Amino acid sequence: MQHRIDGERLWARLLAMAQIGPIPGDGSCRLTLSDDDEAGRALLISWCAARGFALRRDAIGNLFFRRQGRDADALPVLVGSHLDTQPTGGRFDGVLGVLAGLEVLETLADLDLETERPVDLCVWTNEEGSRFQPAMMGSGVACGILPFEQALAACDAGGVRVADELVRHGYEREPVPDIGLADCYVELHIEQGPILENSGKTIGVVTGGQGIRWYEISLHGEETHAGPVPMALRKDPVPMLARLIDLVHDIGGRDPQARCTIGQVRALPGSINVVPGRIEMTVDLRHPDEIELEAMHHALMRGCSDLSRNYPAIRLDVAPRWHSPVVRFDANLANLVRSCAERLGFAAHDMVSGAGHDAFHLARRMPTVMIFVPCRDGISHNPREYASPQAVAAGADVLLSVVLDRAMSRG
């Protein structure tokens, strides 16, 4: 018998969570450890408490809800994602994986299905990396990949530390983060791209993820009045910025699988009649092949060195901030996702994730896989982000099937 989740309940929960931190255009803004982020967590906690799922928290703010199995000592099956959003985010990124995980726990309880293993719903802190860097912070600390002290010291644009916000919300009293041992981790997510929609497929079987490198780059010149100083005598960093933008996009265009993004550019002091004294920018490079990603990194560093020689009056500083290596998910779990999708009558498609996810960190500690569902026009990190009720329910049905297969096993 193929069990199904309650699609209407899941959809209603998604809409209810979207009422916390709403922004124009049906979007959401729940930045990490903000009051809205905590309000979203409180709502989830209330739903879980009503069903008797035990809550555990850790000192980086991760949440874990457990439905017990027959064998309390058996390694648990983990599901989950994150509740934090981008500043102008949508209603499905991350949230779907959390609320579908809750739906799995509730469906098991509704059907009175006793699993051999416990099933844990995980909610990871600061997956987005929009307020605090690096991204995937909570899972990185829990998996021993990101040093706890480094995460605590991270500051937002206003100088507020992660540690300050954790104290404000009472997490500092919780145990030091450590994910421990588990049978596997399964994460449901919207695709955040157009492949599934364009191919007419319902389920993405995610076999791995692109490698990611983040950089902060600063150009230092000399600020001065826009009128009196002749062009030839200025130490203006803007011409170097133009060449640097070309360099980054040339690197991103080296092959069809490469990606580059300049997400932030800030000229200081930011006055219309002042030559900037400093320009700050960010660069995001991605590739599904680690060797190629490394080559992109070296191309960026060489190019910046060449620019420094060509513009001797300007100092160029490049600071690599984060590296998430290429990920290969567990082949057996990917096969299980395929077979579950087939049994449920959903067309599936193998794919590599272009975005970073907490599952990337979990894959370094245990067998891990992701399940994607299509989102309209491939749009994400945008208030227009949308996944249909049918797609959401299909993904949750496959998640339930995979969890049942693993959680019923004694092996």
Q: What is the mean pLDDT of residues 2-12?
A: 96
* Fold of the domain spanning 7-210+326-407: Aminopeptidase (3.40.630)
Q: Taking 90 as the threshold, does the pLDDT of residue 409 lie above it?
A: no
The candidate with the shortest Cα–Cα distance to 183, out of 120, 140, 235, 137, is 120
Count CB neighbours of 382 within 10 A. Answer: 17
Residue 410 pLDDT exceeds 90: no
Q: What one-character-per-residue DSSP string does 83-128 give?
A: ----TTB-SSTTHHHHHHHHHHHHHHHHTT---SS-EEEEE-S-SS
**Residue range 316-365, pLDDT digits in tens:** 999 999 898 999 999 999 999 999 999 999 999 999 998 999 999 999 99
Pairing state between β 278-287 and 259-261: antiparallel
CA 27, CA 386: separation in Å to the nearest integer? 10
* Torsion sign over Cα 392, 186, 63, 22: negative
Average pLDDT for residues 58-65, to the nearest whole number?
A: 98
In whole angstroms, what is the distance from residue 31 CA to residue 112 CA?
A: 37
- How far apart, in Å, are the Cα atoms of 156 and each of 32, 59, 71, 126, 132? 10, 19, 43, 12, 5
Q: Do strands 368-373 and 184-190 pair parallel, antiparallel, or not at all (unpaired)?
A: parallel
CA torsion 357-192-391-38 (nearest 10°) is: 50
Q: What integer pLDDT is reported at residue 326 of this predicted model? A: 94
Which CATH topology does 211-324 take?
A: Alpha-Beta Plaits (3.30.70)
Identify the pLDDT of residue 310: 97
Structure token pair of residue 12: 């209603």
Q: Given pLDDT bands bounded at 50, 70 and 90, which one contains residue 411?
A: low
| pLDDT at residue 254 in the model | 87
**Identity (one letter) of the amino acid at 208?**
G
| pLDDT confidence of residue 2 | 84
pTM of the predicted model, to two decimals?
0.88
pLDDT in tens, 253-304: 989 999 999 999 999 999 999 999 999 999 999 999 999 999 999 999 999 9
Q: Hey, where are the domains in the chain?
A: 7-210+326-407, 211-324
Which range (159-163, 168-172, 276-280, 352-356) has the least confidence? 352-356
**Average pLDDT score over the chain:** 97
- Nearby residues of 90 by Cβ (< 8 Å), 6 or more positions away: 26, 27, 28, 379, 380, 381, 382, 383, 384, 385, 386
CB-based contacts of 358, cutoff 8 Å, min separation 6: 80, 81, 82, 122, 124, 127, 136, 138, 139, 187
> Shortest CA distance to 317 belongs to which of 215, 172, 219?
219
Mean pLDDT in residue range 180-208:
97
